[in-house]
Homo-oligomer: A and B are copies of this chain.
Amino acid sequence: MPKLSRRTFLAGPALAAGCAAFARPARAATPAATAQGPGVYRYNLGDIQLTALYDGIWYLPIDGKFVRNASGAAVNAALTAAFLPPNILPITFTALLVNNGGKLTLIDTGTAGQIADTAGSMIGNLAAAGIAPDAIDTILISHFHPDHIDGIKTKDGAKVFANAEIVVPEPEWAYWMNDAHMAGVSKSVHGYFLNARRIFSDIAPQVRRFKPGAEVVPGIVSLPAYGHTPGHTAFAIHSGRQSMLVMSDTVRNPYLFARHPDWQPIFDMDGEQAVAARRRMLDRAAADRMLVAAYHFPFPACGHIVKTVTGYELVPAMWQPL
């Protein structure tokens, strides 16, 4: 190393600046990127590998009416506490890919760009994870809301996962595919009925229905969690002595609905029943310190739950190498 005298030390910066200005070639400016980096996060549970696949966000203007039993001011305070702007709910979507001994199960499908311009990146992120849609063996559906099933088909009606068996909760099929239930529902819920038909009608023979409570894929056990929809289903994944909970929509944005588990979002069709399912799921996760994933948690949408004096808190998983 060069010897440093007081003189060379003080002269250093000026000399260095001169050198640098002389030595540096002119280079093209690097434009700011216009797209986010890949949303792919892998973690292992025993012998099972999970991959969280980000689909994006629907920025839903909520205008004080998103939670039936809380004021707009209270909801805005919860958003502000999470450093989110008021009156807009960022509904994030993250599908979960389960690799169980080489067989691939995708739990819920992303939006395929059919909900918001700012969502629909799941297939791109699947590609970034090195997996073609054709490689998916099983599509496992938690419930029939459009943001969970739209990824099964493109806007034009083409099947996205050519080789996948579609596996859905029996009570969910029974509710949404029965014309008698369509009468008298609100316009938006009526749209969900039509959308379920668009997705499932012509592939009905290939759809396997299961009774919640059953093991649906080796290592994946379904858990009835009705209320959000009549057949809404969560999942437990097991490998060896390790387990995790896939909470589906029992808990949506954690800053709103883990912190305030009694709040009833308008998307919960039976508010009281959904609150009971939410509390049951959060209690189990917290008591057993289980790893949890949920479709609407912030990406990578996994972590742990702690019970607080007033509700629950999500502790996001620390991003780690594999």
Q: Chain B contacts of A9 at CB under 8 A?
A: 174
Known: A32-B44, A37-B38, A40-B38. A178 touches B4 (CB 8 A): yes
A143 within 8 A of partner (CB):
no
Given the complex of chains A and B, what is the CA–CA distance between A62 and B287 in angstroms? 28
Specify how many copies of this chain sit in the oligomer. Answer: 2
Q: Are A1 and B37 in contact (CB under 8 A)?
A: no
Q: Chain B contacts of A82 at CB under 8 A?
A: 315, 318
A77 within 8 A of partner (CB):
no
Q: Chain B contacts of A4 at CB under 8 A?
A: 177-178
Q: Chain B contacts of A13 at CB under 8 A?
A: 170, 208-210
Q: Chain B contacts of A188 at CB under 8 A?
A: none
Q: Which of A4-24 contact B (CB under 8 A)?
A: 4, 9, 12-13, 15-17, 19-20, 23-24
Q: Name which of A135, A170, A204, A304 has the most chain B CB atoms within 10 A of its CB.
A: A204
A265 within 8 A of partner (CB):
no
Known: A13-B209, A298-B316. A37 touches B32 (CB 8 A): no
A299 within 8 A of partner (CB):
yes
Q: Chain B contacts of A289 at CB under 8 A?
A: 83
Q: Are B16 and A322 in contact (CB under 8 A)?
A: no
Can you list the 5 inter-chain pairs with the closest CB atoms, starting with the nearest? A29-B102, A37-B40, A1-B201, A299-B319, A32-B49
A78 within 8 A of partner (CB):
no
Q: Are B36 and A38 in contact (CB under 8 A)?
A: no
Q: Which of A62-85 contact B (CB under 8 A)?
A: 81-84
Separation in Å of the A166 CB from the closest CB of chain B? 9
Q: List 17 A-B contacts (CB under 8 A).
A: A1-B197, A1-B201, A1-B202, A12-B204, A16-B205, A16-B207, A16-B208, A20-B208, A24-B165, A27-B134, A30-B131, A31-B102, A33-B51, A36-B322, A37-B129, A92-B319, A299-B319
